[in-house]
Amino acid sequence: MTVLAISAHGYWGIALIIGVAAAAVVVVLLGLLIQAVSSIEKSVDGLLATATVVAGQTAHIPQLEATAPVLSQIVDEAVVQDGYMNALTDGFGEAI
């Protein structure tokens, strides 16, 4: 019984077709990889811009540690100011 009777040129043709198909798959995958890398790069650029803004807005947070020791003084002053405002507005708007 004869197995396929293919000449050397036939084998070369099959190998060439397989090689071209593999190369086409590699080209498609490289295109997808480049597209994904481009998308990641855009996201990182946006993240870097956002991080810069956040860093600028939060740079002074360590200075808030100085608020805790004087918090009672702030509350005391608020009570005094409230008393002044009540003194100013007592009787305001009453009919004469």
Residue 93 reports pLDDT greater than 80: no
The pLDDT value given to residue 18: 97
The pLDDT value given to residue 50: 93
pLDDT band at 3 (very low <50, low <70, confident <90, very high): low
Cβ within 8 Å of residue 6, ≥6 positions away: 14
Alpha helices in 2-96 (DSSP H): 8-57, 71-89
The pLDDT value given to residue 17: 97
pTM confidence score: 0.51
Residue ranges per structural domain of the chain? 9-88
% of the chain beyond a pLDDT of 90: 54
